[in-house]
Amino acid sequence: MPFWMTLVLFLVLDYCLLGNYYSIKRIILAFVGIMYPWPPMGHAWFITYLMFLYGLYYVVSLLGMTEKNKVFILLLLSYMTMLVIINTKLFAYFALWVIYTAVFPSAVLIGMYRDLVFAHLQILHGKSRFLYSTIAVIFIAFYSMTSNHAWLSRPDNIMRVVHTFQPLTMVAFLTMLAFVVDSLQYESKILLLLGEYSYEIYLLHFPFMEYYDFVLFKKPLVAHFYVYCALIFLMSYIVRKIVIIIYQEFSSLIPRLKQSI
């Protein structure tokens, strides 16, 4: 529902402010969740990829085999999908999927063995916090230095496959960071609030930053940055409240329909 609401908003804004309009086919594909990395909601391409990955996850979960084998099958299907993309015309639409081929299966694996992973991290952290921090910094530094995606545009499928392992350094860093945050047992009300509205913020923030710059890149930049953040959060809050009202009305409508039947 938030996706549909923001999609309608951006279609209207694109037409009214930028003079952009889209074919009926493109609009229908967008409403069913098939998004590409270009307007009207270019940043939402990741939602399409997530829907696909969750579909794979569900199919694999139905297989009658051990959990370890399921993770292997999930990884295999992810790479088979990647190979299909880089060797067909789908590459023109889903090239960005290739970058994150290994991320979802590795995250599932870490989730399955979270206690074991954190136990090993506990040992490393207990022996030397300096060494722990150094390794984490190396992971994030390597990721930052190698995160240029120019390799995608080069017609070298072998290097494309090799580069799919690069984001795993970010996964490793985030896992190490998650362990530290867990061990601190710190709860941030601000982060919890942002987390609650993170989906709506994600849907709204990029287009208003990139395409409809009403506020952000105005002087003084620091002041307008906070104004921009406040406006995005306010819009996210409004979208969430509207969705909640719609869900509540729909939920109350079903019992009434059953009674009338």
Concatenated DSSP letters of 38-89: STTSGGGHHHHHHHHHHHHHHHHHTSSS-HHHHHHHHHHHHHHHHHHHHTST
Q: How far apart are CA 201 and CA 212, in angstroms?
A: 15
Cis bond upstream, residue 2 (ω within 30): no
CA 73 to chain centre: 22
Residue with tokens 């090799």: 162
Residue spans of the domains in the chain: they are 98-186
Q: What is the pLDDT of residues 184-232, one digit of tens each?
A: 888 888 888 999 999 999 999 888 887 777 777 777 878 888 888 899 9
- Rounded to a whole number, what is the largest CA-CA distance in the chain? 68
Q: What is the pLDDT of residues 149-196, one digit of tens each?
A: 777 777 788 888 888 999 999 999 999 999 998 888 888 888 889 999
Residue 37 per-residue DSSP state: S
Asked whether the predicted pLDDT for residue 1 surpasses 80, the reply is: yes
| pLDDT classification of 250: cutoffs 50, 70, 90 | confident
Q: What is the residue-averaged pLDDT of the chain?
A: 88
Is the model's pTM score more than 0.75?
yes
**pLDDT at residue 189, as a whole number:** 87
